[in-house]
Structure 1
Amino acid sequence: MQALKSSLNLTKDVDWSNPNPCKWPTVQCDASNKVTRIQLKTKGIRGTLLQKLQTLTELMVPKLFQNRISGPIPDLSGLTRLQTLNLHDNLFDSVPKKLTSRTTLSLHGR
């Protein structure tokens, strides 16, 4: 999560100051303190998503829509628990083929 934090230009609306990401208001974790949800919708965030997002192995629902995130969407094929990917209304320039071929994933984007 620290790598994701470093790759994004967060606004004042996003308080990720606590060293423990599970205490961040826009992040949910399971009982093992593994990140399961990230809620950063409509926050005016800029930056890029890093391949290191794959290290969040329990991530199921990242909501990152209506921001200014750009660049390619990283290969997220290692996120086997991923259920819904909300990335619409950003500035992404490519989507990995592996991502679009997943039958258990609901993609939301334009």
Structure 2
Amino acid sequence: MDMAALLIMPGVVMLVMFWTTRVKVGSILCELDKIYGQMDPKSETPNMATNIRDMRAEIKSESELTRKVLGGIAETLKRMDKTLERMDGKLDRIPGLSEPDRPDP
């Protein structure tokens, strides 16, 4: 009888291992189904693509607007620089004014 038990036990152990593996695989499949159910359905994928496209267009328009504003600021600063140069030139021509101490450019 001991010999029969030795021959049968590995088969029983393997059956138990297969059964527990089957149960674990079933629980994993159940979890995967839950996760898949929480994911965005395929019908929302085109909406997401549209939203991304709209966001890119908005970023591009904001970038162009920022470029225009910065260009306007640059033009204003150039005009201010020219005005200050003209004022400086006029002050240099007025007799009697002492020249300010300025470092050489």
- Please tell me the TM-score bracket, short chain as reference: under 0.3
Q: Name the TM-score, length of structure 2 as normaliser.
A: 0.16
Bigger proportion of residues as helix: 2
Bigger proportion of residues as strand: 1
Higher relative CO (Cα under 8 Å, sequence separation at least 6) belongs to 1
Q: Name the TM-score, length of structure 1 as normaliser.
A: 0.16
